[in-house]
Structure 1
Amino acid sequence: MSIYNNVLVVLDPTTEQQKALDRALELTRKQGGKLTAFLSVYEFSYEMTTMLSGDEREAMKQAVIKDREIWLSGLLAPATAAGLDIAIQVVWHNRPFEAVVKAVLEHNFDLVIKGTHDHDVLKSMIFTPTDWHILRKCPCPVLLVKEHAWPEQGNIIAAVNAGSEQEHHKSLNKRVITKALQMAELLHAKVHLVNAYPGTPVNIAIEIPEFNPQEYNSTMQRHHKDAVKLLADDYAIPAEQCHVLEGMPEDVIPKLARQLDAEMVLIGTIGRTGLSAAIIGNTAEHVIDRLDCDVLALKPENFVCPLEKS
């Protein structure tokens, strides 16, 4: 069973443990398909070589690329010897996220795998890390790898927004659940649906005396539970694997992931960019920073990559 036939794994030459590569190799062994090990390199000293001739500058660039290709070949030797179909791609680019997205657009990769770590919240708002750029702009699904293993008979969480009537949310719910079921079959895991719903707005309860917060909360909970049940029934997911919880998604999803010791969370992301991303942020990004398991982020079906438009 092959879910992703053409996978790009992003390597990090600054770390000894290549957890993204380890995960990509594990996935390839389970499902087959082609894997491309990708590395974006750039030497800032190159900017200081303007006094050199064009040929000399090109020779310097190619020497750096060749060195990284040799490093990658050695790293991948055991896997290629075992018969896995692995290609190597080293590119020269001073913006790693653009190099990754460009590779996806040019070679039609259907999954990007990258290692990630916690990001400082304030810095994330001012200087968007490479992970966030890839998450927002990459047109194909992105698997961000953390430390949690993929055990047999584990748990996979599909985060849905079942209470919304907006078409893009409905479409994303279907994509998230379908992909979660495919991954669960591959990993011999259970799929759990999680839906967060907002609590009673405090300002309304204070400003409107006749407002009944208990009734509001009960109505909101019932609406979301009914919506999740309809979704679960469509995909034959048992009621005990459905979780409708009050709170913000960035609080609810990580808490449930810890309780279930989940190996993966699947979440839809609209890929907000620009000022709105800096000020408002994306739910997926807030969730990812609080998880210690892998996150598979999926875009809407009609997502248009901003780099493709430019």
Structure 2
Amino acid sequence: DQGHAVTAGQAWHENLHQTIISVQQAEGCGLVIKQHIADNPLKRALLTPDDWKLLRYCPCPVLMVKTEAPWTGGNILAAVDVGNADIEHRTLHSSIINYGYQIASLAEGTLHVISAHPSAMLSSADPAFQLKETIEARYRNACRQFQTEFDIPDGQLHIEEGPADALIPRVCHQLQAAVTVIGTVARTGFSGALMGNTAEVVLDTLESDVLVLKPEDIIDHLEELVARR
């Protein structure tokens, strides 16, 4: 009922993404919200898009706004990679599902979860990866804990075969999702970008707003990089 306190200002620090990050750090903002307009393919092939740089280097969650559609009553899609079971991924999965759950609760919407699994390989040393059915069962079993914690029925859990950067936009389209929550795990500045660039690749193809999260240790690392400038 009291609304929000809003301030406006102008700033510039070398380039767009560094300007946003500098203001975010100076103001102690816990979320960056930015309109996303896709670059044309030729420009993207020659230059790293500013929004990709923002996703890589911003030390807080980033919400890329792509549509004018309201979130109220809509489907919320949380994308996780349960095939990676290390502590960093498990922590990030929990954060992604929790954010998705909170958004769905506030928007009175429905939370869906997707995880892509690899194709079966008869030559695999692990019998669990020789058949599609056993791979899917393994992935579904890995989802049981957060299914129970956040009351996600099997019908809202999408475990499908194929590359994540193709499956996530497809399921988002099928659900007409209002927002997709996705995570990034790879450190920047070490010859790599974001988890196989999945977050960057799907940014242009998703037909929803996109909330991108990072683990706490990566946020700490990025804050250190900003402080060194």
Shorter-chain TM-score tier: 0.7 to 0.9
8 A contact 1:199–1:246 mirrored in 2: yes
Secondary structure of 2:105's match? helix
- Size of the alignment, in residue pairs? 224
Question: 1:88 is paired with a residue of what secondary structure?
Answer: coil
Alignment of 1:115-194 (within 5 A): 115-121=35-41, 123-194=43-114
User: Does 2:224 correspond to 1:308?
Assistant: no
Q: Do the aligned partners of 1:228 and 1:244 also contact (CA within 8 Å) in 2? A: no
Contact 1:196 1:245 in 2 (8 A): yes
Distance change >3 Å, CA 163–CA 233, structure 1 → 2? farther
Match of 2:193 among 277, 282, 294: 277
Return the alpha-carbon distance in structure 2 between the equivalents of residues 114 and 189 of structure 1: 22
CA deviation map 1:39-61 (0-9, x unaligned): xxxxxxxxxxxxxxxxxxxxxxx
Equivalent residue, structure 2, for 1:242? 157
Q: How does 1:37-116 map to 2 (within 5 A)?
A: 84-116=4-36
Verify the 8 A CA contact 2:128 2:134 in the aligned structure 1. Answer: no
* C-alpha separation in 2, matches of 1:168 and 1:184: 24
3-state SS, counterpart of residue 141 of structure 2:
helix
**Gap runs ≥5 in structure 1:** 1-28, 33-82
Q: Do the aligned partners of residues 85 and 223 (structure 1) sit closer, same or farther apart at CA in structure 2, a change above 3 Å counting?
A: same
Q: What is the letter of the counterpart of residue 226 of structure 2? A: L
State the Cα distance separating 1:108 from its structure 2 match. Answer: 1.0
- Cα pair 1:162 1:231 within 8 Å, conserved: no
> Post-superposition shift, 1:214?
8.6
Identify the residue that residue 73 of structure 1 maps to in structure 2.
none
Q: 1:140 to 1:271 in 2, by over 3 A?
A: farther
1:209-249 Cα distance to aligned partner (Å, 9 max, x none) = 99999943232221111112332112211121111011111
**Cα shift at 1:147:** 1.7
Structure-1 separation of matches of 2:127 and 2:6 = 61
Please report the TM-score for the alignment, with normalisation by the length of structure 1. 0.65
CA contact (8 A) 1:197 1:245 kept: yes
2:196 and 2:129 map into 1 onto residues whose CA distance is: 30
Distance 1:148 1:227, change over 3 A: farther
Closer, same or farther: CA 211–112 of 1 in aligned 2, 3 Å:
closer
Structure number with greater CO (CA < 8 Å, separation at least 6) is 2
Aligned in 2, Cα 1:169/1:218: closer, same or farther, shift over 3 Å? same
CA RMSD of aligned residues (A): 2.7
Give per-residue Cα distances to partners, 1:272-308, cap 9 Å, x unaligned: 5354239x85111112121121000001111221323
State the structure with more CA Rg.
1
Identity %, equivalent residues = 33
* Structure 2 residue 207 is matched with structure 1 residue 288: no
Unmatched runs of 5 consecutive residues or more in structure 2: none
Normalised by the length of structure 2, the TM-score is: 0.87
Letter of the structure 2 residue corresponding to residue 87 of structure 1: T
Q: Which runs of 4+ in 1 moved over 4 A?
A: 208-214
Structure 2 residue matching 1:265: 3-state secondary structure: strand
Which residue is equivalent to 1:264? Answer: 179
Instruction: State the AA in 2 paired with 1:307.
Output: V
Corresponding residue for 1:199?
119
Residue 298 of structure 1 corresponds to which residue in structure 2?
213
Separation in structure 2 between the aligned mates of residue 265 and residue 90 of structure 1, nearest angstrom: 30
